[in-house]
Amino acid sequence: MKISMRFVSVTATVLALATLTACVAVPAPVYQTSRYPYQAPPQAIQYREASNVEYDHVANIEVLRSETAGTGTSGGGAVAGGVIGGVVGNQFGRGNGRAAATALGIVGGALLGNTIEAQQNGPSAYESYRVSVQTDRGGYRAFDVQSPGDLRIGDRVRIDNGQISRM
């Protein structure tokens, strides 16, 4: 069974496009920056019971917004897109038509690759929450969490080894 070069070329093009598309579909990991360590007010009383379990109530929940600056484009996306676009464009036409399709593929792929890279490396905004808890003895503690869940101001909470949960 003889496999034509055109079939191999089209298959390689499809695999290259799928690989480039997969890079876009996977979100980048989120690394947040926030104001650590939390400094309690001087009048706050910090205490722990012998069992490391405290029963307190939520005093405040605030939204912390952080932004990361984008790194811009390095040109790698444009180069990869141009190569893939050129391979795809080369599959169409004959003679001068094939040369024109290849040139259009290179330009279009480079623009698309650069746009995809810019989106991946662009600035991002993230939100987290600071849950402030007033202890039964009058002190304050703060917990930075991704989501407050079902916690509301005034709820009774249990703090067990640094983990906060609603009672």
Shared domain for 58 and 96, answered yes or no, is: no
Give 37-72 pLDDT, tens digit per residue: 444 454 444 444 445 777 888 888 898 888 877 777
- Residue 109 banded pLDDT, cuts 50, 70, 90: very high
Domain co-membership, 104 together with 35: no
- Domain of residue 10 covers 1-29+71-122
Same domain, 110 and 81: yes
Instruction: State residue 38's pLDDT score.
Output: 47
Could you tell me if 17 and 38 lie in one domain? no
Domain CATH for 128: 2.40.50
CA 162/CA 52 separation, integer angstroms: 8
Q: Are residues 104 and 49 in the same domain?
A: no
Residues 135-166 pLDDT 10s? 887 888 888 888 888 888 888 988 888 788 88
Query: Do residues 79 and 153 share a domain?
Result: no
Q: Is the pLDDT of residue 15 over 80?
A: no
3-state secondary structure the chain: CCCCHHHHHHHHHHHHHHHHHHHHHCCCCCCCCCCCCCCCCCCCCCCCCCCCEEEEEEEEEEEEEEEECCCCCCCHHHHHHHHHHHHHHCCCCCCHHHHHHHHHHHHHHHHHHHHHHHHHCCCEEEEEEEEEEEECCCCEEEEEECCCCCCCCCCEEEEECCEEEEC
- Please tell me which residue, 33 or 82, carries the higher pLDDT value: 82
pLDDT for 18 equals 67
Q: Are residues 65 and 133 in the same domain?
A: yes
Region 100-114 average pLDDT: 91
